[in-house]
Amino acid sequence: MTLRLVLMRHGQTHSNLRRVIDTRPPGADLTEKGQQQALSAGAELAEMCGPRISEAYCSVAVRTQQTAERVVGAYEGILGLQPGDVPIAVTEGIHEIDLGELEGRDDHAAYEAYMENLAAWLRSDASAQAEGGETYLQLLDRYVPVLDALIADHEGRDTDLLVVSHGGAIRTVAAHAASVDPQVALDAYIANCQFVVLEPGGKPFGQWAVRYWAGHDVR
């Protein structure tokens, strides 16, 4: 019996389009392109996972809720399921890592500062954070218990759980969950509505397996 966690980044938002740093809920809405990305992602999951996805979870950010609704709707439709067969739960703790004073900025220096912090988080640098923002340990402290609870609640079941979240958070959490090489994880960009598939396999966090990472080879 295999339980897998499918961590999906939300679709394109108006902030993404303008390259504005937007980490704090509720955040921006999806663009029309983002809505289409979510529908396409539902079809991709139907092909990749078949009927394995039994439940979906999303962060408190508007963009993940809008993404989850469209992904799940498309997934259910393609597989001939009834609306609501895959329930969606808005879930605290899995929102994006807070970038503090970088929030709302769209300049090159802010983007470079974000990338420097992301690289440091992947290297397990506990001191790295944007001024007024979170460290990677603070992210893990709120995010990992959510995943642990999902694993415990579905122990012994052969199923996939969809978790619609955020790019920086997913990359950081997944890299530490499976002890992925920091540079490999940094290079393995997760585009809008792309996803990572993790298989805990009854092992502790840090020893999970990556079964898929947005088309990248992270082995």
- 219 pLDDT more than 80: no
For residue 218, name the pLDDT band (cuts at 50, 70, 90).
confident
Residue 59 annotated in ligand binding? no
How far is it, in rounded angstroms, from Cα 133 to Cα 113? Answer: 12
59 with 24: CB under 8 angstroms? Answer: no
User: Within 13 Å of residue 196, how many CA atoms lie on the same side as its CB?
Assistant: 33
Q: Is 166 a catalytic residue?
A: no
pLDDT digits (tens, 9 = 90+) for 94-110: 999 999 999 999 999 99
How far is it, in rounded angstroms, from Cα 73 to Cα 66? Answer: 11
Residue 219 annotated in ligand binding? no
How far is it, in rounded angstroms, from Cα 178 to Cα 211? Answer: 10
How far is it, in rounded angstroms, from Cα 214 to Cα 84? Answer: 27
Q: Is 108 a catalytic residue?
A: no
Q: Which of 44, 96, 134, 199 is catalytic?
A: 96
φ, ψ at 76 (rounded to 5°) = -60, -45
How far is it, in rounded angstroms, from Cα 196 to Cα 9? Answer: 9
Place of tokens 């993940």: 64
Residue 12 annotated in ligand binding? yes
pLDDT digits (tens, 9 = 90+) for 43-94: 999 999 999 999 999 999 999 999 999 999 999 999 999 999 999 999 999 9
Please give the domain boundaries of the chain with CATH numbers for all domains. Answer: 3-95+139-217 (3.40.50.1240)
Residue 28 is classified by DSSP as: P
Rounded to 10 degrees, the C-alpha dihedral 77/80/85/86 comes to: -50
Predicted model pTM: 0.95
Tokens of 132: 């007024």
